[in-house]
Amino acid sequence: MMWLARLEQEQENLRAVLKWFIERGETEPALRLCGALWWFWRLRGYWSEGRRWLEAVLELPQAGGPTIARAKALCAAGDLAYYQDDYLIARPLLEESVMLCRTLGAGRELATSLGILGVLLRVQGDLEAAAPLLEESEKLCRMLKSNWELAYLLRKLAQLVAWTGELKQAVEYAQEGLMLAEKLGDKSLIATTLSTLGDITVRHGDLSQAIAYNQESLTLARELGDKLLVALALNNLAYFTALKGDLTLAAYAQEGFALMRELGDRMFITKTFHSVGYVTMHQGKLAQARAWFREGLSLAQEIRSEMDIGLNLFGLALVAAAERRLRPWLNSCLDSTRLLTQRV
C-alpha cells in the first residue's frame, strides 16, 4: 500500500519529530502521532520500537490527562505488548484505555479497546471476564457501523474459537470478517483473515483449500510488508505442501523461520521449528531435522514452564501442540538414524 511505503521512507523524519515532541514536552501532538503510527508499527514488525516511543510519551508529565489521544496511545501500547506476550504489562494499559473511552464517550475507540482487552483476557483463560467485553465490542461495532473494527474483531474471534474446537462458529466469524474486509478494500484485513481461514480449513482436513488461502495471504502480506503474516504464510505453505508430498516450497520454511526469529515471537517460533524439521526430514537430512526438532522441543518446554505462571492458555495450547508434533518426529528421526547406521 502506498501509505505504508511512504511511512517507511519517512521513518527517520518521524523519529526526529517524535524525539522533538518528547524533548519539548509537546504531549498532545506526541500522543496523537504515536496513535497514528500504531498500525504501521504493528504491521511492519516495529513492535519494540513502537513500545519504546509509546512508553516515553505516556510518561511525559502532561500525558495523564483524560483525552482520546491518551486512550488511543494506551490501547496501542497494550496491543503491542500483547503481540510480544507481555500480558502483565498489556492488561492494565488496555483497562485504562477502556476506562478513559467510557469517560469520554468515545464509542469507536471504546469498541477497539474492549475487543483487544477481551481477546487478551480470553487468551489468558479468564472467559468469564472476557465474554461481556467481546460482546459489548461487537455490539458497539455493529451499532456504530464501524466495519473496520468489526472485521478486525471477527477475525480475532474466529481465531480464538477455532482453538477451542468450535470450527463452525470460527468459519462463520472469519467469513463475515472477510466479506467486510473485502468491502472495505483493506488488504491487511483481507490477508490476516485469509490466514485465519487457512488455519481453520486445515483443521477440517482440507489441505488444498488451506494452501490456497495461504498463497493468497502471502501475496498480500508481501505487498504490505507484514512480517508476521509473511512468516506464518511461508511456514504454513512449506508444511502443508510437504504433507502432500510436494517439497517444491521447502525453502519457504527457512525463510519463515528467519523472519519469526527477527520478530522474536517465541510461541510461533516453536511452531516453525516443527515445520522446518518436518521439511528437512523429508529432504533426507535426518541429522539436521533431529537438531531442529530437539531445539524446538527444548524451547517449547522452556516457554511452557514460564507460561504456567502467566496463565496464558492460548500460548500454552500453541506450545503444547508444537510439543505434541515435535516429540514423535524427534523419535522418528532417531529411529531412522539408527536404522541407517545399522545398514552401514
Do 306 and 236 reside in the same domain of the chain?
Answer: yes
Do 161 and 271 reside in the same domain of the chain?
Answer: no
- Which of 201, 225, 249 delimits the end of a domain? 225
* Cell numbers placing 297: 522441543
At 86-131, the pLDDT tens digits run 888 999 999 999 999 999 999 999 999 999 999 888 877 787 888 8
Instruction: Using alpha carbons, select from 55, 233, 75 the residue that is nearest to residue 152.
Output: 75
Do 260 and 301 reside in the same domain of the chain?
Answer: yes
Do 183 and 266 reside in the same domain of the chain?
Answer: no
Residue 129 within a domain: no
Residue 34 within a domain: no
Residues contacting 56, CB < 8 A, separation 6+? 22
Q: In the predicted model, what is the mean pLDDT of residues 307-330?
A: 54
Do 207 and 307 reside in the same domain of the chain?
Answer: no
Give the residue with greater pLDDT, 342 vs 237. 237
Residue 38 within a domain: no
At 319-333, the pLDDT tens digits run 555 556 556 656 665
Query: Identity (one letter) of the amino acid at 18?
Result: L
Do 212 and 185 reside in the same domain of the chain?
Answer: yes
- Which of 225, 247, 269 delimits the end of a domain? 225
The 10 Å CB-count burial string (b at 16+, else e) for 27-61 is: bbebbbbbbebbebbbbbbbbeebbebbbbbbebe
Is the pLDDT confidence value at 343 over 60?
A: no
Do 269 and 325 reside in the same domain of the chain?
Answer: yes
Do 247 and 320 reside in the same domain of the chain?
Answer: yes
Contact 42, 83 (CB under 8 A): yes
Q: Within 13 Å and on the Cβ side, how many CA atoms surround 8?
A: 12
Residue 133 within a domain: no
Do 214 and 252 reside in the same domain of the chain?
Answer: no
Q: What is the CATH number of the domain that holds 255?
A: 1.25.40.10
- Which of 202, 225, 248 delimits the end of a domain? 225
Do 162 and 249 reside in the same domain of the chain?
Answer: no
Do 272 and 193 reside in the same domain of the chain?
Answer: no
Containing domain of residue 166, as a range? 146-225
Domain count, the chain: 2
* pTM given for the model: 0.77
Q: How far apart are CA 211 and CA 214, in angstroms?
A: 5
Do 210 and 232 reside in the same domain of the chain?
Answer: no
**Rounded percentage of the chain residues whose pLDDT exceeds 70:** 87
